[in-house]
A and B are shown apart, each in its own frame.
Chain A
Amino acid sequence: MNRISKLMRNHHKYLAGANNNKVVALVMSSAIATEQAFSIYYLSECAVTLEFGQSINLQLLDAVSAYNQLLHQQPFHGFNTAIPAYTTLTVLFDPVVVSQADLSGATCFDKVSNYLQRLNQHQKELKETTATRIAIPVCYGSDYGPDLQEVADLHRLSIEEVIEIHSQAVYKVYMIGFVPGFAYLGGLDERLETPRKSSPRKKVPAGSVGIAGMQTGIYPMQTPGGWQLIGRTPVKLFDVNRAQPSLLKAGDEIMFTPITEKEFIDFNVDLNVFNRF
């Protein structure tokens, strides 16, 4: 994931330079976002990928999300599911159903591609969707965040300052990948950019909140990992018993709320009244 952090860094430079001409370009692309151009390529017999651009930015995230929503409102015969990523939306389908569907084109690839292009042209104004904002309680430091001191020392900050910087930012979920429920987040303050640990831990507990390069994220389940661990959340990021097993989805905004160790231990969440605001 090293290269992601590099890209994330570029992305933040991009956003940081929001006072120059680039802003104009951003505003314009947002104005035409209702008919966003994309190219389509073959992924497998059962999937095509729509590519909306080449860089990580909020406008592309919106374009991918908007089109994904449109496709779910107006699916074609044989449509299975769609996987959003930074700049792409991958559309899965059943070739047997598509081959018999009343869609123009000689092959399944053509039929699906034609439909997806036409859907884009006929797209009506999409309703503005407001991002879901979720507060994630985090117990910073001690056994929950064994690398907090190291991160603070590296940046010549106090532990309190690291917590403050980390918990004051609003983070955007760009995509879910890697393991079930893992969110790729944008929005880490540059002051907290920290290299990975030189050797990864064999076991990182579920809920651990870490930093790697310009990324911050939460481990949904116990896996090996090389991120600097600064805290842990008692919230389950992934739970097969929920209607939406992954707590987060692309487009969501999250914030981290510091909690004490006692609050961590006492934490007993009813997800229906979960901290959404």
Chain B
Amino acid sequence: MQLTIIKPGLLSTVQDLGRRGYLSQAVPVSGAMDTLSARIANIVLGNDENAAVIEFTYADSEFKADTDLLIAYAGEGAILTINDRKLPAERPVFIPKDKVIKLINSHIGSRTYLAIAGGFNVPEILGSRSTFITAGFGGLEGRALKAGDVLLGYDLSVVSQKILTQLSGNEVFFTSWSIPITLLLPVDRKRIRVVPAHEFNWFNGQAVVDFLSEPFTIGTQSNRMGYQLQGPALNRLVKDELLSTAVMPGTIQVTGEGSMILLMADCQTTGGYPRIAQVVAVDLPLCAQLKPGDAIYFTEITQHEAEILYLEREQELRRLQMAVQYKFL
């Protein structure tokens, strides 16, 4: 399968679930910001969930089907359309050769993930196909996609092949079933669960109360490396300097002026700002869909609760993956 990018939009990159083997050499995790959407898009197609996908930021992108395509998309940055007709998300969609697919604004989230059956064929660099633009490697030539880029897919899995056989024809066609991501998400998506971080006690009482009750707004200086969070300044009791140590996507750092930075997929591997909290892994996909101006609240849970949520989410995804396979094998 093959497609050509006609309009890349604001920022479109090839990503998988990230790169973890070289963190000690300061190579960031990268990968899809909203890993849940990327995984669902792959799972419904019968792909390995780590297969490379395209991460689109907002709408305003276009691509052309150079061959018949079997695709799936997920995430709330945009809606895929063909001749102004919306394509349903979170399920396999067959698109005949030569169709042009346009992304239109969803006004809900910010990132959309396009998977094709087999996964996008880009070289694996340092154990991952994810693009890391700062250092210029991964994905397609280490850069954002641009007009004219041609992307190929790998060979199809047995399951993907069966889905394709079921849907292929002369028209756009899709399954009646889907995996709605909303079923996996909490009702209130602006309430982000966190576990207190190691320096949590460095902050004064007011800071802790503000952190867990006040709204924080995503600033305009937000990107794949991290989000600026605007709200009350968080002041410290302990003014010690923190020696640089490992940080992760989801770590919330507080700068000297008391403002917060939520680290995201392309964040540095180490940081020297005190950390007030760690966003729980299952809520990071919610953060990935936030736009500048969106307001969020933080709710504290225990590290044990976070771990249970993590394991339950993994179990659920494993079940969904098996359900798709049983359907076709």
Contacts and interface: CB of A to CB of B under 8 A. Distances in A.
B209 interface: no
Contact of A177 (B26, B198, B278): B26
A175 interface: yes
Contacts of B195: 42, 44
Interface string B269-286: 110100000101100000
A83 B269 contact: yes
Given A107-B307, A182-B26, A49 B198 contact: yes
Interface stretch (A19-27, A84-92, A192-200): A84-92
A45 B26 contact: no
Interface in B53-86: none
Interface string A199-230: 00000000000000000000001010000000
B245 A178 contact: no
B25 A43 contact: no
A238 interface: yes
B245 A45 contact: no
* Chain A interface residue bracket vs B: 35 or more
Contacts of B244: 4, 85-86, 175, 177, 184
Interface in A23-52: 41-47, 49
B278 A249 contact: no
Chain A contact residues: over half helix, strand or loop, or mixed? mixed
A96 B315 CA distance: 9
Interface string B137-177: 10000000000000000000000000000000000000000
Given A83-B246, A182-B26, A177 B269 contact: yes
Contacts of A177: 26, 244, 268-270
Contact of A45 (B25, B27, B136, B310): B310
A90 B243 contact: no
A47 B26 contact: no
Interface string B233-271: 000000001011110101100000000000000001110
B243 A181 contact: no
A90 B245 contact: yes
Contact of A88 (B24, B246, B306): B246
A99 interface: yes
Contact of A90 (B27, B134, B246, B250): B246
B278 to A, nearest CB: 5
B20 interface: yes
A13 interface: no
Contact of A85 (B25, B125, B243, B280): B243
Contacts of A182: 26
B89 to A, nearest CB: 27
Interface in A218-275: 221, 223, 238, 240, 244-246, 249-250
Nearest to B142: A240
Contacts of B250: 44
Contacts of B23: 81, 83, 92
Contacts of B197: 43
B223 to A, nearest CB: 14
B303 A85 contact: no
Interface in B75-102: none
A157 interface: no
B180 interface: no
B24 A82 contact: yes
A177 B273 CA distance: 14
Interface string A40-80: 01111111010000111000000000000000000000001
B248 A176 contact: no
B323 interface: no
A95 interface: yes
Contacts of A86: 243-245
Contacts of B311: 95-96, 99
A81 B24 contact: yes
Contacts of A240: 125-126, 135, 137
B186 interface: no
A4 B245 CA distance: 12
Interface string A150-193: 00000000000000000000000001111111101000000000
A109 interface: yes
B310 A178 contact: no
Most chain A CB within 10 A, of B22, B126, B278, B314, is at B22
B205 interface: no
7 contacts: A43-B197, A43-B251, A83-B270, A88-B243, A95-B307, A96-B314, A221-B136
Given A86-B245, A179-B134, A250-B24, 19 more contacts: A7-B241, A42-B303, A43-B278, A45-B281, A45-B307, A45-B310, A54-B243, A81-B23, A83-B270, A86-B243, A88-B246, A95-B307, A177-B244, A179-B26, A179-B135, A221-B135, A240-B135, A245-B22, A246-B25
User: Nearest 8 A-B pairs (CB), nearest first?
Assistant: A177-B270, A90-B246, A246-B25, A83-B246, A45-B310, A85-B245, A86-B243, A3-B241
Interface of A: 1, 3-4, 6-7, 41-47, 49, 54-56, 80-88, 90, 92, 95-96, 99, 107-109, 175-182, 184, 221, 223, 238, 240, 244-246, 249-250
